[in-house]
């Protein structure tokens, strides 16, 4: 199994450009998450999905949109990129969202917005 | 509010010595605690978790963590550090909505 994969690995955008980050998992997990990681701030939840066709806002959702059209894929979109969105983006998935459930992470996408 | 704190930005230890990476938490109700490790340019890898039961939890790569309810701590430990253990370590706790709340991370540097 590949686990959780993310595309692309690295991207440079100009302010105002749009892009989509793709996350795919082959573990048949119901739950998927998008986080951003910034220096000194740990990981913060952007959006998440509890199943195909569902999405919900996390801690820092502004400026991002998501879609979960297929169970195995979770897309994160930036409609108009801003320098504040320069970050490392991680996707994660889990079988459930119970207290003891473990989240499994992808390798990350490094995004630079100029 | 649910929170987790990692009081040390960096921990330095010599290879072969024991290591401890500290984590304290604040939750209402029973805590569910996790440790993850991030190697350079890689995603987070799950190390271990505490749900209930024994206060000493054993995980991957020889790591273990000690849950202490009275001190609200969940420190990560290893009896003998390796240079390859050098990485960024994150502690996390489940909040009341079952989301994971992450600490700010501790960079572990193991010197030969």
Q: Residue A2: phi, psi to the nearest 5?
A: -80, -20
Please report the sign of the dihedral spanned by the C-alpha atoms of residue B76, residue B11, residue B81, residue A35: positive
Once rounded to an integer, what is the mean pLDDT over residues B52-57? 90
Which pair of tokens denotes residue B112? 């030969």
Please give the pLDDT value at position B77: 98
Report how far residue A51's alpha carbon sits from residue A34's, in angstroms, rounded to the nearest whole number.
14
**What percent of chain B lies above the pLDDT cut of 70?**
100
Which one, of A60, A103, A41, lies nearest residue B35 by Cα?
Answer: A103
Q: Using a CB-CB distance cutoff of 8 angstroms, which residues of chain B are in contact with residue A45?
A: 99-100
Which one, of A66, A64, A74, lies nearest residue A94 by Cα?
Answer: A74
Probe site for chain B from A24, A33, A42, A108 (most B CB atoms < 10 A): A42
Please give the pLDDT value at position B52: 85
Q: Using a CB-CB distance cutoff of 8 angstroms, which residues of chain B are in contact with residue A58?
A: 99
The strand pair at B106-111 and B10-14 is best described as parallel
Please give the pLDDT value at position B60: 92
- Residues B12-35: tens digit of each pLDDT: 999 999 999 999 999 888 899 999
| Closest approach of B23 to chain A, Cα-based (Å) | 13
Name every residue whose Cβ is closer than 8 Å to that of residue B44 and which is 6 or more positions away in sequence.
A43, A90, A92, A105, B36, B37, B38, B90
* Subunit contact B100:A107, Cβ cutoff 8 A: no
Probe site for chain B from A4, A33, A43, A88 (most B CB atoms < 10 A): A43
- Angle at A85 (CA atoms; ends A84, A90), nearest 5 degrees: 140
Which one, of B87, B103, B111, lies nearest residue B8 by Cα?
Answer: B103
């Amino acid at each position: 199994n590949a686990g959780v994969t993310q595309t692309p690995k690295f991207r440079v955008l100009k302010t105002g450009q749009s892009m989509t980050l793709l996350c795919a998992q082959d573990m048949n997990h119901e739950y998927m998450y998008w986080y951003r990681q910034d220096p000194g701030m740990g990981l913060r939840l952007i959006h998440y999905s509890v199943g195909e066709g569902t999405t919900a806002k996390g801690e820092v959702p502004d400026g991002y949109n998501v879609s979960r059209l297929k169970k195995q894929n979770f897309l994160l979109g930036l409609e108009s990129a801003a320098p504040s969105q320069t970050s490392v983006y991680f996707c994660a998935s889990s079988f459930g969202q119970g207290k003891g459930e473990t989240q499994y992470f992808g390798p990350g996408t490094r995004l630079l917005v100029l | 509010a649910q929170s987790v704190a990692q009081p040390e930005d960096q921990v330095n230890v010599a290879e072969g010595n024991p290591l401890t990476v500290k984590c304290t938490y604040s939750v209402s109700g029973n805590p569910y605690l996790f440790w993850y490790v991030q190697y350079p340019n890689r995603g987070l890898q799950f190390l271990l978790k505490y749900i209930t039961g024994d206060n000493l939890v054993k995980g991957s790569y020889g790591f273990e963590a000690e849950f202490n309810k009275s001190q609200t701590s969940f420190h990560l430990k290893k009896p003998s550090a390796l240079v390859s253990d050098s990485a960024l370590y994150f502690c996390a706790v489940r909040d009341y909505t079952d989301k994971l709340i992450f600490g700010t991370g501790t960079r572990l540097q193991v010197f030969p």
